[in-house]
Structure 1
Amino acid sequence: MPKATKPRRADAFGSLLGTTKLDLAPPSPSAVPLDQIRVRARQPRRHFDEASLASLAQSVREQGVLQPVLLRRVDQDYELIAGERRVRAARLAGLSEVPALVREVSDEEADVMAALENLQREDLNPLDEVEATLTIVARELRVRVDEVVPLLHAQRRAPDEETVARLDAVFARLGRGTWRSFAANKVGVLRFAPELLDLMRAGRLEYTRAAALSRVKDAHLRAELIQRTLGENLGVREIAAAARPSRVVDTPLRRVRELLDERQMARLGERDRKRVQQLLGELEGLLSGPPRPGRRRS
């Protein structure tokens, strides 16, 4: 019996686009001037690797833009739904226009289509994957995006047959594992500190180091380690070592320093303070005088 194959990304993309009930069959692409294309404020992808973009721009110079971008009409211009990387590369390559498919879609449909394309990226990081998946699941279940994670956890605890069937169906079309494993293993990234999520979205911090920093519960120490990680390019092991509490060695000097705390001294009466001063004088004389010869053993 032939082994079942995992759905290809393109198949999953086409399958889910089919659920939007849009007319996604051609017309053929048309050439749209780049200066009439504007990026949506809610575009899911926020970071573009400069070296990879330069490489794509060189390919565009030689072969042109091979896959049309997806747009919708907004006033006298066009709003980009999918294909921002191609638009950026075309601008770098000096093109004045790109091939585009123009669709009439709502804000919600545009969000879903942008999320679907984002899931096709080879360099997709866990945060982008989670946020794109939540957008798609929210549309499929007709709930708000911020309601999806609580809903998934609720279904793990007390499953509803109809909801589970719908979840199974959308995750099967995505081809990225089950909704149960998604809820158990992936959505935890959303619990990272906001500053870590911002750095991940900006492409300045990858998931593995962000996860190591998220384990640092002290906010001040975490902020310090974030700066060190960015400035010194600390690795995961170095972050873990720096976050580990240092072992305090119990020495006579440390004990004296602890005992001479100002608040401790303030609680003493005048007689006890004079006694402390006397002992400190003896200690100073002992430490500053000439070394005494060690006792010889008999």
Structure 2
Amino acid sequence: MAKKAMGLGRGLGGLISSGVAGKAAPKTKKEKSKAQSKAKATRSNAKPKPSSGTGGETLIEVPINQVKPNRYQPRKRINADQIKELAASIKAEGLIQPITARSSKEGYEIIAGERRWRAYRQLGRKTITVRVLEVGDASSASLSLIENLQREGLDPIEEALGCSVLIQDFELTQAQVAERLGKSRVYVTNALRLLQLDEQIQQFLSDERLSVGHAKVLLGVEDDSARLQLAKKIVGNELSVRQAEDEVAAVKTKGKGRTGSPAARENAKAARHMAMQLSDLLKTKVSVSSNGEGKGRITIEYGSSGELATLGSKFGL
């Protein structure tokens, strides 16, 4: 069954502070026909006259050739089958949620709803209903990233690249990106670390042949060549994350000439595994070091007083 277009979601709606998060009242057939006729009569280089929707939002009927994709679109691959399904749904039930865009020199640039726009074009529609926001580049980029995260998850590399754009192009800090996305700072830090991986390993992640858990393990291998070979081995043999940890431990041990007793190596391996589990549980970076005799140290990192308070509450403090 074809999927219906979903709403903007709490995070995206929360960032739209000018009263445009509410849903517009559906138009009657007569109103739609009138709006479409008016749009057809508009010159191709002229901006259509806006009309007010409910909640103070601005809705307009725009010639579809005046609407362009977002230059900061984090999604790099568009699923043709999903567009076909969406087009069938729109043909049967209409456009449930207007696309969101901002004004540009060429017309309008999409903030949220590129797939709906593509489906409309596939149906041969001449105009499309647009909710217009007046936002800058940074807000447009972050809103587009949030919209994609909420509607249908980006792959890990697309998400990491989206975060990177906000940091590199708009000089936002990791904490600011995390706040906009409703994520923890550590979540953003870990996402960005994926961009340190070889392009082929990144492709494995995008193709879902490797998980983020595998990627975290691979980041523990410093040598790029050894890391790539290990990634290929994990993919080829369909190794679990735990098995990948064993492979990384073997690579590190080989590089050190297998120093230490078997018991010491086993303790170090257990410490690495415990560090990963604690990091996932506490949502922050945790290091566990072992002295090889069953003793060691646990280090928990935090990036702000707020994160420290959150950690304290998790320990019942």
What TM-score comes out, normalization by structure 2 length?
A: 0.49
Aligned to 1:235: 238
Q: Deviations over 1:237-281 (max 9, x none)?
A: 599599988xxxxxxxxxxxxxxxxxxxxxxxxxxxxxxxxxxxx
Pairing 1:191–2:218 present: no
Give the unaligned 5+ runs of structure 1: 1-7, 153-166, 246-298
Pairing 1:38–2:68 present: yes
Equivalent residue for 1:98, pick from 113, 128, 143 = 128
Aligned to 2:51: none
1:119-268 paired onto structure 2 within 5 Å:
119-132=149-162, 144-145=171-172, 148-149=173-174, 171=179, 174-176=181-183, 178-179=184-185, 181-182=186-187, 185-197=190-202, 203-205=206-208, 208=211, 211=215, 219-220=224-225, 235-237=238-240
Q: CA deviation at 1:225?
A: 7.5
Distance 1:100 1:131 in 2: 27
Equivalent residue for 1:74, pick from 104, 116, 135 = 104
Q: Deviations over 1:34-80 (max 9, x none)?
A: 22221133212222223322221211121122111112222242212
Asked if 1 retains the 8 angstrom alpha-carbon contact of 2:74 and 2:144, the reply is: yes
Describe the SS at the equivalent of 1:41: coil
Distance 2:188 2:132 in 1: 35
Amino acid at match of 2:211: T
Alpha-carbon distance change, 70 to 194 in structure 1, aligned in 2, over 3 angstroms? same
Aligned to 1:57: 87
Describe the SS at the equivalent of 2:129: strand
Distance 1:40 1:97 in 2: 18
Asked if 2 retains the 8 angstrom alpha-carbon contact of 1:13 and 1:116, the reply is: yes
Describe the SS at the equivalent of 2:124: coil
1:11-50 paired onto structure 2 within 5 Å:
11-18=10-17, 22=18, 24=20, 25-50=55-80
Alpha-carbon distance change, 16 to 76 in structure 1, aligned in 2, over 3 angstroms? closer
Describe the SS at the equivalent of 2:87: helix
Q: CA deviation at 1:9?
A: 7.8
Distance 2:94 2:162 in 1: 28
Distance 2:11 2:71 in 1: 26
1:277-292 paired onto structure 2 within 5 Å:
none
Q: CA RMSD in A?
A: 4.2
Asked if 2 retains the 8 angstrom alpha-carbon contact of 1:12 and 1:174, the reply is: yes
Amino acid at match of 1:208: S
Describe the SS at the equivalent of 2:95: coil
Going by fraction, where is helix more abundant, 1 or 2? 1
Alpha-carbon distance change, 38 to 55 in structure 1, aligned in 2, over 3 angstroms? same
Alpha-carbon distance change, 116 to 237 in structure 1, aligned in 2, over 3 angstroms? closer
Distance 1:89 1:190 in 2: 32
Describe the SS at the equivalent of 2:150: coil
Aligned to 1:251: none
Amino acid at match of 1:192: L
Tell me which of the two structures has the higher relative contact order, counting C-alpha pairs closer than 8 angstroms and 6 or more residues apart. 1
Asked if 2 retains the 8 angstrom alpha-carbon contact of 1:16 and 1:174, the reply is: no
Alpha-carbon distance change, 93 to 184 in structure 1, aligned in 2, over 3 angstroms? same
Alpha-carbon distance change, 91 to 135 in structure 1, aligned in 2, over 3 angstroms? same
Amino acid at match of 1:86: R
Greater CA radius of gyration, 1 or 2?
1
Distance 2:229 2:80 in 1: 28
Distance 2:15 2:194 in 1: 24
Q: CA deviation at 1:121?
A: 2.5
Distance 1:34 1:107 in 2: 22
What TM-score comes out, normalization by structure 1 length?
A: 0.52
Describe the SS at the equivalent of 2:76: coil
Q: CA deviation at 1:235?
A: 3.3
Alpha-carbon distance change, 102 to 62 in structure 1, aligned in 2, over 3 angstroms? same
Asked if 2 retains the 8 angstrom alpha-carbon contact of 1:9 and 1:175, the reply is: no
Residue identity (%) = 25
Alpha-carbon distance change, 110 to 207 in structure 1, aligned in 2, over 3 angstroms? farther
Distance 2:101 2:211 in 1: 34
- The number of aligned residues is 206
